[in-house]
Copies of this chain bind each other. A is one copy, B any other.
Amino acid sequence: MSAPRTDISTLGEFGLIQHLTRNNEIRQASTLLTVGDDGAVIDHLGKQTVISSDMLIEGIHFDLSYTPLKHLGYKSVAVNVSDICAMNATPTHILLNIAVSNRFSVEALEEFYEGVYFACEKYNVDLIGGDTTSSPKGFNISVTAIGEVLEGRYVTRKGARPNDLICVTGDLGAAFMGLTLLEREKKIFLEHPDVQPDLDNRTHCIGKILKPEARLDIIEWLEEKGIAPTSMIDISDGLSSELFHICTQSEVGCEIFEDKIPFHEEMREVAFQFEIDPTACALSGGEDYELLFTVPQEAYEHIKFSEQISVVGYITDQPGQLHITTRKGNKHPLEAQGWQAFKK
């Protein structure tokens, strides 16, 4: 039995928006006006607004042959919420624009929105607007996330100071290994459509790439412990690239240690299987959406008790000098690889 397929054209734009937002809930008291007008209205009470916007383009940022639409909806919200967290702000609202071709049915969009709403619930944000339109080809997503922060408490990439500790959350490199696994399964499937994928014991890596989480829990923990990071960024393009952003903007250098980079055991296994160096994945892999931040040394008394935060090195007063010390004790300059979508 095939799933029902309702052509988008049967609803039209207004019908489609109404249909997709019919279960939209309001969680934030500051939401004065939501979806359904030319704009949304947000109230303020002496707080500052942080805002960020990002696109996810089919064929560049995701491959629908192995990305469930529900996960894609969740991820679209999570990666934007992650940017708000990376400013040390609390996410409050999102606007969602999608442009989709006629290849997608109403049911497909519903599935996508299910993921969106699931993420809104998880991060306690209100979906307050956006645009739904058609595209000649593919699924294009643009999300704007809004957050609030107490006056002057936002954290940029600019404030890292010599001797600050460099911290990362969670574990790194798993998203890249998840992507590598999925790309391999896709290739096998295209060549041998009868072979079933075996990804059962790879849930961590697959989960990191398909359904990443924003580290709002860390922002809340830092607030609770009274720790004010001196600089912060989310790790979307690999640790190395993000360290370059922080060091460049803060006009400092850094030393990190290979044996301090946090890895998940499953990620190590997959990396071993593919004969890829786990450290290279962490440095250049991307899409981890963990947080990278710097704190004064005094914060260590709290940080050391967190299982979610690893100290990977420290900031130096040598601008332009970014180094990693390997397990064998050799010191190498870091290279910024990062985002290469335009490069081939």
Chain A residues engaging chain B, CB cutoff 8 angstroms:
8-9, 11-14, 16, 32-33, 36-44, 46-55, 57-61, 83-84, 86-87, 89, 93, 95, 97-99, 102, 128-131, 133-138, 140, 142, 144-147, 149, 154, 156-158, 232-234, 249, 338-344
On whether the beta carbons of B140 and A13 are closer than 8 Å, the reply is no
On whether the beta carbons of A137 and B138 are closer than 8 Å, the reply is yes
On whether the beta carbons of B95 and A55 are closer than 8 Å, the reply is no
Q: Say how many copies of this protein the assembly contains.
A: 2
Residues of B within 8 A of A156 (CB): 33, 37
Residues of B within 8 A of A84 (CB): 38-39
Residues of B within 8 A of A9 (CB): 342-344
A60 to chain B, nearest CB (A): 6
Tell which of B8, B42, B46, B154 touches A51, judged by Cβ atoms closer than 8 Å. Answer: B42
Known contacts A47-B44, A136-B59; A342 and B37 CB within 8 A of each other: no
Tell which of B13, B32, B53 touches A144, judged by Cβ atoms closer than 8 Å. Answer: B53
With A13-B338, A32-B48 known, 16 other A-B pairs at CB within 8 A are A9-B344, A12-B339, A37-B233, A38-B86, A38-B233, A39-B51, A39-B83, A39-B89, A40-B51, A49-B49, A53-B97, A99-B140, A134-B341, A137-B138, A140-B140, A144-B144
On whether the beta carbons of A57 and B140 are closer than 8 Å, the reply is yes
Known contacts A55-B133, A344-B9; A144 and B39 CB within 8 A of each other: no
Minimum CB distance partner of A47 in chain B: B44
Residues of B within 8 A of A343 (CB): 9, 12
Known contacts A134-B57, A134-B341, A140-B55; A39 and B44 CB within 8 A of each other: no
The 9 A-B pairs of least Cβ separation, nearest first, read A142-B142, A39-B52, A59-B136, A38-B86, A38-B83, A44-B44, A144-B144, A53-B95, A39-B50
Residues of B within 8 A of A16 (CB): 342
On whether the beta carbons of A57 and B341 are closer than 8 Å, the reply is no
On whether the beta carbons of B51 and A129 are closer than 8 Å, the reply is yes
CA distance A98 to B55 in the complex (A): 8
Residues of B within 8 A of A57 (CB): 99, 133-136, 140
CA distance A48 to B142 in the complex (A): 24
Residues of B within 8 A of A249 (CB): 36
A106 to chain B, nearest CB (A): 10
A38 to chain B, nearest CB (A): 4
Minimum CB distance partner of A13 in chain B: B339
Residues of B within 8 A of A234 (CB): 38
A108 to chain B, nearest CB (A): 14
Most buried by B among A12, A58, A145: A12
Known contacts A49-B44, A50-B40, A136-B138; A97 and B342 CB within 8 A of each other: no
CA distance A340 to B133 in the complex (A): 10
On whether the beta carbons of A43 and B48 are closer than 8 Å, the reply is yes
Known contacts A129-B52, A137-B137; A144 and B44 CB within 8 A of each other: no
On whether the beta carbons of A142 and B55 are closer than 8 Å, the reply is yes
Residues of B within 8 A of A131 (CB): 53-55, 142
CA distance A10 to B89 in the complex (A): 34
Known contacts A55-B133, A99-B57, A142-B55; A13 and B342 CB within 8 A of each other: yes
Residues of B within 8 A of A53 (CB): 53, 95, 97, 129-131, 142, 144
